[in-house]
Amino acid sequence: MKKRFYLCASLLMSASALFAEIKLPALVGDNMVLQQSTDVRIWGEAEPNTTLNASCSWDQRVYSTSVNADGKWEIWLRTPSASFEKQQITLKNNDDKMVLHDLLIGEVWLGSGQSNMEMPLRGFWHCPIEGGNHTIATSGKYKDAIRYATIQRVGAVEPKDYPTGGEWKTCDPMNAPGFGATAYFFATLLTETLNVPVGIINCSWGGSTVEGWLPKEILEGYDDIDLSLAGNDEKMHPMLQPMIMYNGMLKPVSKYTVKGFLWYQGESNVGHPDYAQRLATLVKHWRELWGSEELPFYLVEIAPYDYGEGDKGAFLREEQYKATQLIPNSGIVCTNDLVQDYERRQIHPKDKRTIGERLCYLALNKTYGYTTIACEGPVYDRHEINKDEIVLFFKHTEEGFNRDNGIVGFEIAGQDMRFHPANASIDAGKKAVVVSSPKVKKPVAVRYAFRNFQIGNLKNTAGLPMLPFRTDK
């Protein structure tokens, strides 16, 4: 009996010692970037009902927090201004000690959405990244400036405590092939301009809908969403299931302090209702999760693509722009100039560098105050009908347009609402575009790039393209 007692006691002590170890999610570890000049949160597990202390190499303070009865803890640390100097954090709990090495203080952004945000520098099958191999080869020049964390695609019906994956990777040719390209190009321009380290958390899932990134309590209010399909792989492909990305990926990441959000999604919502309002609801909820109503949200317009009959893609792009009018502190990147005709059936266009850089222009102008950096292309403002012509006026064209001939993408219609390819010219005096067609004598409406697949070539002098629009309703 005594032997059995000692054996049980030994096992209990062993289990207790194992549980007493400080444990962290993969996202909290070596090589991470912490948001500068703010309070950042780290979290994990340790021995229940104890005290955990944290000390940082950048100050003399000792931070303390209580470990609850379930062994969970979180602690807030005050960060200094951005620096390329390597830092560390030391965690202590009773006799257990853990040191996090090679940390940087800088700017942290979360990239989310579907496959065009997920798409790595090495590309997908039959879907290359333009210049991807060269970008990978030269990535080492950012080894002390950019760190990248990729959350694994794991869905869940109930919210998870920790994300799967998310280890921070240094920037070099060994790691860079797996970095999501759009956010990587955002990061390279941001670090070059601000001269600070940049951390990217890529939390995306190819094919996911906006409803996949929303919680149950919101989705319950949508009549067209069947929550019984969440987790039911036999009835619905995981990428199209509601709420599982939110529970398995987004919610567990939401404790990590970020500067803002980059969003590249929409293809899987083509033809679905209420996209603008649902995206606005998503942003409001995400900001509540992160505890800040001010976090910027910059999104990418879905690229021209042949979705088949009708203009479903055009209507989704219209909803995306509407969303930016509903979401404070937001902006949109236009893409209708970034595809080639042979890419009409390519859902993953090759040019991700320009998209990442345009996202960065938005951040530099609107978030970091570099107002001399243009970030918005021409946006339809109003029009006048002058006999057989329609004269169009735009915002963000103070210095005019990039061309005065060879303009493509405009269509014009009379009262029958049959749209015909239009001739377009620039009226420099009015800073306007004049549109007409010999087939339309009494025009009533104009559209620009308002098709599933329509390449546009009109931009402002900053090289930023005109957003698709229609004057009719």
pLDDT of 128-187, one tens digit each?
999 999 999 999 999 999 999 999 999 999 999 999 999 999 999 999 999 999 999 999
**427, β-bridge pairs:** 432
142/134 Cα distance (integer angstroms): 14
The span from the CA of 377 to the CA of 310, in Å, is 26
- In this predicted structure, the answer to whether residue 14 has a pLDDT above a threshold of 70 is no
Sorting pLDDT into bands at 50, 70 and 90, what band is 255?
very high
| pLDDT given at position 2 | 44
Q: Which residues contact 97 (CB under 8 A, 6 or more apart)?
A: 22, 90, 91
Burial, 286: exposed, middle or buried (Cβ in 10 Å; 0-12, 13-18, 19+)? Answer: buried
Q: What is the pTM of this model?
A: 0.95
Q: Are 242 and 224 in contact (CB under 8 A)?
A: no
The Cα 251–Cα 359 span in angstroms is: 24
Counting residues of the chain whose pLDDT is more than 90, the rounded percentage is: 95
Task: Tell me the per-residue pLDDT of 370-410, one tens digit each, with 9 for 90 and over.
Answer: 999 999 999 999 999 999 999 999 999 999 999 999 999 99
For residue 437, pLDDT over 60 is answered with: yes
Q: Which two tokens stand for residue 13?
A: 């002590």
Give the pairing of strands 469-470 and 445-448. antiparallel
Q: Compute CA distances 199 → 31, 145, 147, 188, whole Å.
A: 10, 8, 5, 10
> Span 460-464, mean pLDDT?
97
Instruction: Region of 409 please: left (phi>0), alpha (psi -120 to 50) or beta.
Output: left
| Amino acid, res. 93 | N
**DSSP secondary-structure letter at 237?**
-
* pLDDT confidence of residue 438: 97
Predicted confidence band of residue 349 (pLDDT cuts 50, 70, 90): very high
Contacts of 36 (CB under 8 A, 6+ apart): 79, 80, 81, 82, 105, 106, 107, 196
124 - beta bridge partners?
A: 127
